[in-house]
Amino acid sequence: MTFIKEIKNRKGFKIDENNKLVFDGCCLEDLASIYGTPSYFFSETIIREQCQEYREAFKKWNIDYEILYAGKAFLVQAMAHIINEEGLSLDVSSGGEIYIALEGGFPAERIYFHGNNKSEEELNFAIKRGIGTIVIDNLYELELVEQIANILNKKVNILVRAIPGVDTHTHKKIRTGQIDSKFGIPIQDFLYIFPAILAKKHLIYQGVHCHIGSQLFDMQSYYLAIREMIDMIKAIEKNYEIKTSVLNLGGGLGVRYTEDDTALSINQYVHQLVGQIKIMCNENQLSIPKILVEPGRSIIADAGVTLYRVGPIKQAKGMTRYLIVDGGMTDNLRPSLYDARYEALIVNKFDEEALETVTVAGKCCESGDILIKDIKLPHAENGDLIVLFTTGAYHYSMSSNYNGFPRPPVVLVNKGKHGFMVKGETYQYMNQNHAFPEWLTPKKVT
């Protein structure tokens, strides 16, 4: 087999008149020559199309809604700019992400601040800069936000994160909705602590938030979470005569990494999610609150690819054949962190037969630095160019300088145009904050 079918199944990929593989109008071999490898490449066209698909899906329903892009998946200033232009709001998890967003021109009032241990410094920064909503994760944070808002004489909109007690069929490291979770307040405790929420003079209760996990394909877990959250909203209204105006159901929609993944379309996901909310609100004689969702992966994952060069090729007799590339777990931690699986092809041999089973390994000093185990590819040689698909989410954002490797550049492509979103790091950049205590005298290396 060749990879022609695989190319046609991947968003943004085409074969040009010179029989070269292009991504959003840019030849991959040319991009590798210009920017080097490893490098991340993002399609602006795909990013905008995914945002528009979310907007169009919600517009079909006569409800109030807000789509928050989950910045933890991938956030740089140019991305914040695109998300703003597409009319989405933004979910961030740290002061650093707030800073990136604001520097990218994103309106503070459309930023939602998450996190299970927001520092006093981060909260001060967020409240001073007028961040729209803070998502309260725990009672300690409830008190801290009230104290800071009081000192700054500010009113702060809040959502409160609940744990709905819903388990999911995804990797244990990306489940967040089970009761034994570091995130949120257990739903069975919510009614008891609700008076404490209402007692805060500087906090304006808007509604509730939950998130049950990531890379989800089964809507049944969402249905269970919706039922728990709607029941809680009804109990709040009954016991405290307070209407909950916002229901934030988080993100988690899965995407296709390999042919084994059967992902819902964005339209299917929104249709089933909103349909179920309407049914359950009607059953409970509740008005439908404003619905918030927080897609990250489902907007950005398909929009990104990573290019690598093959270096050494190793194989002991009768053992695994390793293609060792010039990147690895420093630019893609997901396989090492939670056994993530990918598909790839050799760019300069995409139309050749896949003849051998190989393992694509990284260059880090770790035996676990494996990008793809047992993939069938054409016969590989030193210098071949490999593209990994669906690397837009949680790759650059999780990248590191382990082993002293500089982070790769991040490049935006759009219908044949290309340019940096983030320049690749240099050795000098990585060392710019290194220092010597006064009692150490460094020796200059000449």
The catalytic site residues sit at 365
**DSSP for 56-73, written as a single string:** HHHHTSSS-EEEEEEGGG
For 383, counting Cβ atoms within 10 Å of its Cβ (0-12 exposed, 13-18 middle, 19+ buried), the class is: exposed
Q: Mark 262-292 as b/e (b = at least 16 C-beta within 10 Å).
A: ebbebeebbbebbebbeebbeeeebebbebb
362 close to 371: Cβ distance less than 8 angstroms? yes
Taking the C-alpha atoms of 138, 139, 143 and 144 in order, what is their torsion angle to the nearest 10 degrees? -30
Question: For 12, left (φ over 0), alpha (ψ -120 to 50), or beta?
Answer: left
Residue 306: C-alpha distances to residues 32, 89, 405, 407 (Å): 10, 27, 16, 13
Distance, in Å, from the CA atom of 376 to the CA atom of 374, rounded to the nearest integer, reads 7
Strand boundaries in 99-214, DSSP class E: 111-113, 133-136, 156-163, 185-186, 203-209
